[in-house]
Amino acid sequence: MVVQADDFDDAGFFRALAKAGVRYLLLGRRALVALGAPVLTSDYDLWIELDDTEKLNAIARTFDLEPTCDPAEARARGRYVLEGPERVDVMVARAKSTADGVVLTFSDAYGRRTILSPDGIALAIPCIDDLITTKRWALRPKDVLDINFLDSLREAGP
């Protein structure tokens, strides 16, 4: 049977991550959508604590998502993909810096995280200032648009 993207239980997936204590942050446009920006995206972007790679993969497999490489290789490369009914890009790095030298560590971003829908999906995303920093990593035109949305989301409040 071919599993369609609509079959992916993202709420269940993120609840399972929270229940298992996986330290993750949802980045990218799905984070913007969760905050309330109507932007389009085809995948999920997660940033996880290095030591939680195995736990994430175990949960992912229960949602028919298969890692593209083993945890040691993922840690060496700094990223990998979970493939299945959805595509999940996973960043495995202790820190990343912008072109102008602003360093964001996972532990700092995780410490400042926002939990959306704490009684429901319990989705962990970076605070808006840190999301803006992540949007300065790649310097793409779409990141300009996304920072504009993030600035407006900050003005709009929760």
Residues that bind other proteins (CB under 8 A): 4-6, 8, 10-11, 29-30, 33-34, 36-43, 86, 99-100, 116-117, 120-121, 123, 136, 138-145, 147-149, 151-153, 155-156
| CB contact at 8 A, 59 and 13 | yes
Q: Extract the tokens encoding 132.
A: 């803006």
* Closest distance of CB 81 from other proteins, Å: 16
Q: Extract the tokens encoding 23.
A: 């330290």
Judged by beta carbon, residue 13 or residue 106, the one nearer other proteins is 13
Judged by beta carbon, residue 98 or residue 112, the one nearer other proteins is 98
Q: Position of tokens 């298969």?
A: 66
Judged by beta carbon, residue 10 or residue 53, the one nearer other proteins is 10
* Closest distance of CB 117 from other proteins, Å: 4
Sign of CA pseudo-dihedral 51, 54, 55, 59: positive
DSSP letter for 135, please: T
Strands, DSSP E only, in the chain?
A: 24-27, 44-48, 66-67, 79-83, 87-91, 95-97, 103-105, 114-116, 123-125
* Closest distance of CB 71 from other proteins, Å: 26
* Closest distance of CB 54 from other proteins, Å: 25
Count Cβ atoms below 10 Å from residue 103 Cβ, excluding itself: 10
Judged by beta carbon, residue 127 or residue 153, the one nearer other proteins is 153
* Closest distance of CB 133 from other proteins, Å: 13
Judged by beta carbon, residue 74 or residue 104, the one nearer other proteins is 104
